[in-house]
Structure 1
């Protein structure tokens, strides 16, 4: 299993509008690609950054599916970010592999 983590740091002034958009538009669009089996959204409680920080985690059952998402879907989904959020947030991605502790 592969975890694709997207961390977003956003200005307080767009927080409520962005939160509604991410939940109702972007996360469903990402999940509709068929590249991920589940997702979860977390708010960073003790972020050292100004503004609000969220992590959106998408779980893929293979690196191939994640690569499919990144090669085919990611740019289109990122391009659909509303203009009012431009220059008001920063995002970065991290890819992680699950390790069993048995």
Structure 2
């Protein structure tokens, strides 16, 4: 099992609209690709020097091949959507993690 983690800092001026869009449109669209089994959204509880709010969305995926297929088939369009809706209002970075054990 893998986790595809997207951490985003969103500018305060776009925060409310972005959060609503993420919860109602974007995360459901990512899940609708059929490549992920679940998603969890968390607020990162730190004060950012640059301001804004930071969130982490963790998508569960069964294997690396499925994640690679998401990158090839779906990610470009989904990333373009957020860039068009919230230009210059966010910074994101992505991390892949392999689950070693669950307790």
Structure 1's 79 and 99: CA in aligned 2 closer, same or farther, altered over 3 A?
Answer: same
Structure 1's 10 and 35: CA in aligned 2 closer, same or farther, altered over 3 A?
Answer: same
1:82 Cα deviation (Å)?
6.0
Aligned twin of 1:55: 56
Residues 50-99 of structure 1: CA deviation (Å, up to 9, x unaligned): 21000000000111111110111000111112634100101110000001
1:48 Cα deviation (Å)?
3.5
Larger mean CA deviation between 7-16 and 75-84 belongs to 75-84
Give me the whole-angstrom Cα distance separating, in 2, the residues matched to 1:15 and 1:79: 18
1:2 Cα deviation (Å)?
0.3
Gaps of 5+ in 2: none
Matches within 5 A, 1:4-83: 4-49=4-49, 50-81=51-82, 83=84
Give me the whole-angstrom Cα distance separating, in 2, the residues matched to 1:9 and 1:16: 13
TM-score by length of 2: 0.92
Structure 1's 35 and 48: CA in aligned 2 closer, same or farther, altered over 3 A?
Answer: same
Aligned twin of 1:85: 86
Structure 1's 17 and 101: CA in aligned 2 closer, same or farther, altered over 3 A?
Answer: closer
1:47 Cα deviation (Å)?
4.0
Q: How many residues align?
A: 102
